[in-house]
Amino acid sequence: MVVRRRGTPEGGTLSLALLLQDLDFGGTQRQTVELAHRLDRERFAPELWVLKKGEDLAPIAREYGIPVVRLGDASYVSPGSLHRLYSTLRQRPPHCLTTLTAVPNIWGRLLGRLVGAPLILGSCRGGGAPKRQHEKWLWRFADHHMTNTVQLKRRLIAECGVPEAHISVIHNGVDVSYFSPPPEGERERVEAEDGPVVLCVARLVEDKDHASLLTGYARIAADHPDAQLWLVGDGPLEANLRKRVGKLLDAAGASQDRVRFVPGQLDLRDIYARASMLVLPSIREAMPNVVLEAMACGLPVVATQVGGLPEMVAEGETGLLVPARNPEALGDAIGRLLTEVELRRAMGRRGRKRAEYAFSWRAMVERFSTLVESLVYQNALAEGPPGESTWLG
């Protein structure tokens, strides 16, 4: 048995622990840092709890003044970091422990439940998350779940048996003032001088299926001799993808120089400004930030019909959707937008408007804030006066 401690402030500030595996570049990590920054400090006192080494986003957290609690400094989640998590939860349990990324969603829930954490808010934010996080067995260890797509909510219900009332959908947000289109006419001027750029921003890993993108691009390379392909991101497949570029473009009679590999970087605004479209050929996704950022920057999007991408990209309005693992369809969609310049421009304008009204940070933060407050105070009402403990078997 474990003791589940209660004790909720009556109208006071809520302490919020956002538990992450690391602060490396990643969509969930970036969304979490931005969320913590934007939460109303009269309502919440957020902290980032981090289980292992990973510093990419640490400078931004410091700039924002967000407290970071280091639970481990190894390159992996060690037994020591889990022990420190357990001890920290026992010594100063937050009003809400929010578990983010895979390992925190496993160990954060188990240890949180063991010490009697007042409220555990689990999350499921990626196409492979239900399996990686063992949701079929571990969903019961969270008081509530949040997903960033309707598709993930449906999967949790159908595949893992999570009750519908146990899940809330909160779409990712994007800063539409930070990510914005270049000055009017600038994109057109650069394209006229240097040619259009087909942009893909994604880790160089299997799930992103760069192989299909390269095959599709090679199919239309001869018809669009001025179009470049930029692959922005790092990952273990870079060497293999470089070899594939050589074979495919040599066979197509095109120069290998037309494909550029660009290291991943924190600020992508200049790259979005140079691009003509964003392409994401993933075989698994939830709600990738790069799509929202590209839309906010006025780019049309070509993406696969997986995960939450159809919830983001309005087919025929803000971009084109194609089946996954289909290089021919991907190449045709890219070729269409390269050919139909006015369609490309119109989709980019509509994408910007969609980012503004459907995916603003203000809406995302308010939905999260309202959810946490309602869960905390529902628990307080259900469990009795502050300070009481209840036994769970």
Q: What per-residue confidence (pLDDT) applies to 265?
A: 86
Q: What per-residue confidence (pLDDT) applies to 2?
A: 43
Q: What per-residue confidence (pLDDT) applies to 350?
A: 98
Bridge partners of residue 237, in order along the sequence: none
pLDDT band at 26 (very low <50, low <70, confident <90, very high): confident
pLDDT band at 10 (very low <50, low <70, confident <90, very high): low
* Rounded average pLDDT over 125-134: 90
Strand order in the sheet with 259-262: 259-262, 228-232, 197-201, 277-280, 301-304, 319-322
State yes or no: pLDDT of 6 exceeds 60. no
Backbone phi and psi for residue 176, each to the nearest 5 degrees, phi listed first:
-75, -10
- For residue 59, what are the contacts with CB-CB under 8 A and spacing of at least 6? none
pLDDT in tens, 359-388: 989 989 999 999 999 999 998 887 655 444
> How high is the mean pLDDT of the chain?
93
State yes or no: pLDDT of 9 exceeds 60. no
Local structure of 216: helix, strand or coil = helix
> What's the pTM?
0.83
Residue 11 or residue 100, greater confidence: 100
Local structure of 145: helix, strand or coil = strand
Compute the distance between CA of residue 114 and CA of residue 141 in angstroms, rounded to an integer: 10
Bridge partners of residue 121, in order along the sequence: 98, 144
- CATH 3.40.50.2000 for domain 14-173+360-383, yes or no, is yes
Judged on CB neighbours under 10 Å (0-12, 13-18, 19+), 381 is exposed
Residue 92: CB atoms within 10 Å: 11
Q: What per-residue confidence (pLDDT) applies to 209?
A: 98
What's the token pair of residue 89? 């939860």
Q: What per-residue confidence (pLDDT) applies to 198?
A: 98
State yes or no: pLDDT of 145 exceeds 80. yes
Backbone phi and psi for residue 14, each to the nearest 5 degrees, phi listed first:
-95, 125
State yes or no: pLDDT of 293 exceeds 90. yes
Q: What per-residue confidence (pLDDT) applies to 11?
A: 61
Percentage of the chain modeled with pLDDT above 70? 94
Q: What per-residue confidence (pLDDT) applies to 386?
A: 47
Backbone phi and psi for residue 183, each to the nearest 5 degrees, phi listed first:
-55, 145
pLDDT in tens, 196-210: 999 999 999 999 999
**186-358: CATH architecture:** 3-Layer(aba) Sandwich (3.40)
Local structure of 377: helix, strand or coil = helix
Q: What per-residue confidence (pLDDT) applies to 390?
A: 41
Local structure of 2: helix, strand or coil = strand
- Mean pLDDT is lowest, of 7-21, 36-50, 172-186, 316-330, for 7-21
Residue intervals in the chain for CATH 3.40.50.2000: 14-173+360-383, 186-358
pLDDT in tens, 92-122: 999 999 999 999 999 999 999 999 999 999 9
Judged on CB neighbours under 10 Å (0-12, 13-18, 19+), 55 is exposed
